[in-house]
Amino acid sequence: MKAVWIEKHGGPEVLQVVDRPMPKPGPGEVVVRVKACALNYLDVWVRRGVPGHKFPLPMIPGSDIAGVMPDTGEEVVVFPAESCGKCEFCLTGREQLCRHFGILGESRDGGCAGYISVKRENVFPKPESLKFEEAASVLLSGLTAYHMVATRAMVQSGEWVMVTGAAGGVGTMAVQIAKAMGGRVIAVVGNRQKADLVKSLGADVAIVHSEVDFARAAREVAGKTGISVIVDSVGGEVFEKCIQVLRPAGRLVTCGATSSGTANLHLRRVFFRALNIMGSTMGSRWEMLSVLAMVRDGLVRPVIHSVLPLEDVAKGHRLLEEREVIGKVVLKP
């Protein structure tokens, strides 16, 4: 089968498309024929390498998989991670906290290939209304956004919710999920085209951070009510500004640091204003089913920037790194 292959860390040029052996399912596993695999910024980190973290290279990347069961023809999607299934966290529906938790394409071979072998319990029916590329585009990003907005922040109707990086994969999903839960959404984006997109997804206000100080503009929008929830995937200086604009007892949920993994945090602001700062990563299989139901019911729609053949994987990575992507880039083997 054809597969994307990473042997060493580096730029997009290290991505190879090679012939690899068909996967052999282990105990309790099934083989899925991959019809679409969406890219995430995680794929960029796996390719580049992260200081202090060791990826098991060589490896096939790719976390978001929609495909077909070869024996039955059933159209399916794959939960993008695996865990032990037996520990306290797994048994209470918090498998992302399992010490053996690993994301496909990050801790083991992923879906940028013709086929993948995965645990049977991680395979779910694909919503009939979705094309394969649409289904692949709502998995990891939708799961991450749902866990942040619904489970961690527990957005309430009428609250002001600010989403940074709102035109990206997680951002577009967070905007829609927050709106579906009754939130009033402020979307922070990089340009006018992205502003138009997030407004079409339901954002009440779109702030272009290259034109104005987004923190000051957000405060003006929220007024005396203040911003109750911030969903941040950018980190660095953006995280610092987010802390400054939260109302007392506000909740900030962070799931990433695409700009920088460090930020200055003034603790007096945190404890005097009783702020809640919450980390968030991925989510559970139940939450993924909730996301798929929201898509099925029309509350959330996939946003696809482009669909590329597997051979153009390097182009897809460059698009992500150039910050020009609106929604998701999807590969088709």
Distance CA(266)–CA(195), nearest Å, equals: 31
Cβ atoms within 10 A of the Cβ of 91, count?
12
Chain-centre distance for alpha carbon 127: 19
Handedness of CA 310, 43, 146, 237 (dihedral sign): negative
User: Token pair for residue 40?
Assistant: 């995430």
Cα(226)–Cα(7) distance, integer angstroms: 49
Q: Look at residue 25 in the predicted model and tell me its pLDDT.
A: 92
- 25-55 as b/e: b if 16+ CB within 10 A: eeeebbbbbbbbbbbbbbbbbbbeeeeeeeb
pLDDT at 213: 87
Q: In this structure, how many other beta carbons lie within 10 angstroms of the beta carbon of residue 276?
A: 14
> Quick check: 245 and 227 in contact, CB under 8 A?
yes
pLDDT of residue 323: 79
**How far is Cα 57 from Cα 113, in angstroms, rounded to an integer?**
16
Tens digit of each residue's pLDDT, the chain (333 residues): 999 999 999 999 999 999 999 999 989 999 999 999 999 989 999 999 988 888 999 999 999 999 999 989 999 999 999 998 899 999 998 988 999 999 999 999 999 999 999 999 999 999 998 999 999 999 999 999 999 999 999 999 999 999 999 988 899 999 999 999 999 999 999 889 999 999 999 999 999 998 888 889 999 999 988 999 999 888 878 778 888 899 999 999 988 776 677 777 888 888 888 899 998 888 999 999 999 999 999 999 999 999 999 999 999 999 999 877 888 999 999
Q: The tokens of 332 are what? A: 């088709």
Tell me which residue of 72, 101, 70 sits closest to 87, measured CA to CA.
101
Q: Which domains does the chain have, with CATH numbers?
A: 2-138+302-332 (3.90.180.10), 144-279 (3.90.180.10)
The confidence score (pLDDT) of residue 234 equals 81
pLDDT for 65: 97
Amino acid at 276: N
In this prediction the pTM is 0.90
Cα–Cα dist 287/299, whole Å: 15
